[in-house]
């Protein structure tokens, strides 16, 4: 079985400040990890993914995430956020099958 | 490529009515799935399919039926709508091999049951 915990349901931040959205996972096998973004009234789209290789993964819109196997984490970071980054962010894990398990989401709110 | 398409975008039903939410993809993906999204609950898997003729239940299958007669289409049927089924429904598709397992989502159907 696999599970995902997104530790913060809401993260408020000011524009141009750095941000970290936290994700921890649990799995008995090797995993693939994903971050998706959902803008208001839209479907989810892929931000970035870790399948293997380098543990630092770069995605779209300046986001990056680091896979930490010992801490079973895959935190998402951006050094300077924009108003347009306001959205819901979902962490997802696939381990042992092709069926992803999603976290409950973190709402990133960027204030001017 | 249109990607994953869903119809309708919005729907209002009365309790007890039935309806079908349509989902289609043009990427030749083997895996397709249906999720519902409710505030504070994230995405919950309703049903999924790994190919034409093969479907299975997810986390919250009660009150929903699916079929997969073609690779492209994966409709979700509500048998007798209940207010608890008021939600936003997303269809998704992906490859099942090492192409990356990335999920491609449709734009969603917002369903209200009164």
* Residue-wise pLDDT tens digits, A92-109: 999 877 789 999 999 999
Q: For chain A, what's the residue count?
A: 112
Is A99 in contact with B33 (Cβ distance < 8 A)? yes
Residues of A in contact with B48 (CB under 8 A): 99
The partner residue sitting opposite B105, judged by closest CB among A41, A43, A104, is: A43
Q: What is the DSSP letter of B83?
A: G
Q: Are A24 and A76 in contact (CB under 8 A)?
A: no
pLDDT class of A6 with cuts at 50, 70, 90:
very high
| Contact pairs from chain A to chain B, CB under 8 Å | 55
Residue A31 is predicted with a pLDDT of 87
The partner residue sitting opposite A100, judged by closest CB among B41, B103, B106, is: B103
Residues A60, A72: Cα–Cα separation, whole Å = 23
3-state secondary structure of A6: strand
| Sequence-ordered list of residues with C-beta below 8 angstroms from that of A15, at least 6 positions apart, any chain | A81, A82, A83, A110, A111, A112
Residues of B with CB under 8 A from a CB of A: 4, 31, 33, 35, 40-43, 45, 48, 50, 58, 90, 92, 94, 96, 98, 100-103, 105-108
Alpha-carbon distances, residue B56 vs A46, A102, B50, B53, B60 (angstroms): 25, 18, 9, 10, 11
For chain B, list residues with pLDDT below 50.
none
Q: Are B24 and B72 in contact (CB under 8 A)?
A: yes
Residues of B in contact with A45 (CB under 8 A): 105
Is B40 in contact with A42 (Cβ distance < 8 A)? no
Residue B49 is predicted with a pLDDT of 95
A32 closest CA partner among A100, A82, A110 = A100
Residues A109, A28: Cα–Cα separation, whole Å = 34
Looking at the predicted structure, is the pLDDT value of residue A1 above 90? no
Q: Are A17 and A35 in contact (CB under 8 A)?
A: no
Q: Are B60 and B6 in contact (CB under 8 A)?
A: no
Residue A28 is predicted with a pLDDT of 83
pLDDT class of A59 with cuts at 50, 70, 90:
very high
Q: Are A4 and A92 in contact (CB under 8 A)?
A: yes
- pLDDT, average across residues A34-40: 96
Residues A101, A103: Cα–Cα separation, whole Å = 7
Q: What is the DSSP letter of B65?
A: E
Residues of B in contact with A104 (CB under 8 A): 40-42
Is B100 in contact with A49 (Cβ distance < 8 A)? yes
User: Residue A6 CA to chain centroid, in angstroms?
Assistant: 8
């Amino acid at each position: 079985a696999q599970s995902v915990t997104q530790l913060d349901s809401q993260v408020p931040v000011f524009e141009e400040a750095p941000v970290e959205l936290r994700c921890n996972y649990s799995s008995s096998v090797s995993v693939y990890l994903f971050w998706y973004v959902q803008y208001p009234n839209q479907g989810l789209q892929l931000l970035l993914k870790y399948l293997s290789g380098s543990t630092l993964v770069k995605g779209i819109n300046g986001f990056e995430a680091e896979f930490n196997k010992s801490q079973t984490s895959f935190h998402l970071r951006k050094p300077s956020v924009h108003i347009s980054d306001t959205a819901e962010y979902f962490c997802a894990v696939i381990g042992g099958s092709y069926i992803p398990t999603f976290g409950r989401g973190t709402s990133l709110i960027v204030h001017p | 490529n249109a990607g994953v398409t869903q119809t309708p975008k919005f729907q209002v039903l009365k309790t007890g009515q039935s309806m079908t939410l349509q989902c289609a993809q043009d990427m030749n993906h083997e895996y397709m799935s249906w999720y519902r999204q409710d505030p504070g609950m994230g995405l919950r898997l309703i049903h999924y399919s790994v190919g034409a003729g093969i479907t299975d239940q997810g986390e919250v299958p009660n009150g929903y039926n699916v079929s997969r007669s073609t690779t492209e289409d994966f409709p979700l049927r509500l048998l007798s709508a209940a207010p608890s089924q008021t939600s936003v429904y997303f269809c998704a598709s992906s490859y099942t091999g090492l192409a990356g397992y990335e999920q491609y989502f449709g734009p969603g159907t917002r369903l209200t049951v009164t």
